[in-house]
Structure 1
């Protein structure tokens, strides 16, 4: 069973230890001084880290990225989902982290998405950190999206 966690600085309480990552040094949450907006969502999932990682890059890939046969893991390789999300792999550390550019078909700009999995007691923490969002509205939309994704992960492993 997971318990709510309170986060200081930007007090929020979410089930399954959700953290809306916002820098305390910014005047406006999620706004970066030089490159737009960012958002992060983190949750504890009741499964070992490797099992979560395998799911994220296998059966669960459509949940967070879109329909794609497999995601390349080599830096510099491009990908595209069947629904038009495209990008390039920027970094990959097996079992721990993937960083990629992420651009839906109807967006005029690309963004950077980092997915990280780490150990937390008997379970794992999954974190989605999305950078270079265009504005507050895009940030708000992606915050909702990543909360839905992490909620689905928690439910899948419950």
Structure 2
């Protein structure tokens, strides 16, 4: 089976980075209105209730599938599923992972890899100015 293709979730991609900030700081940004707009494209605050619908500024509809404060957010996003997860990575360091599954093919996987790498760069720039 090619890299990135799974039996259950189709094509998928994950991008991770460790930031020199505590989990709470990173969570507050990513779960907040400005952070969610950056990684998900929402125009309004992301709902926190499982099953709640949302819509991006570009009109993509989705639903909150999971929301565990300080840990992870999982949402459908059109035909795909996106998850952002945080984990402590030592004293005042946080591992951030963006994962997207149910992508249609290898080309979409590569496009989304580039997308998530840009998003990660933008998150780091917002949280670590200078």
Q: Same fold (TM over 0.5)?
A: yes
The secondary structure found in structure 2 opposite 1:60 is: helix
Give, in whole Å, the separation in 2 of the partners of 1:136 and 1:78: 28
1:117 corresponds to which of 76, 81, 86: 86
Give, in whole Å, the separation in 2 of the partners of 1:85 and 1:146: 17
Give, in whole Å, the separation in 1 of the partners of 2:52 and 2:22: 28
Q: Which 4+ residue blocks in structure 1 deviate beyond 4 angstroms?
A: none
Give, in whole Å, the separation in 1 of the partners of 2:23 and 2:73: 14
Which residue pairs with 1:151 in the alignment? 121
State yes or no: 1:47 paired with 2:21. yes
- Report the RMSD for the aligned CA atoms in angstroms: 1.2
Q: Would you say the 8 A contact 1:101–1:112 is kept in 2?
A: yes
Structure number with the higher helix fraction is: 2
Structure 1, gaps ≥5 residues long: 1-26, 104-109
Structure 2, gaps ≥5 residues long: none
Larger radius of gyration: 1
CA drift of 1:34 comes to 4.4
CA offsets per residue over residues 25-45 of structure 1, 9 Å max, x none? xx3110112442000011001
Q: Would you say the 8 A contact 1:45–1:153 is kept in 2?
A: no
State yes or no: 1:31 paired with 2:5. yes
Give the number of equivalent residue pairs.
126
CA offsets per residue over residues 53-109 of structure 1, 9 Å max, x none? 110122211111113220011111110022112201111101111111012xxxxxx
State yes or no: 1:86 paired with 2:81. no
Give, in whole Å, the separation in 1 of the partners of 2:42 and 2:64: 17
CA drift of 1:128 comes to 0.7
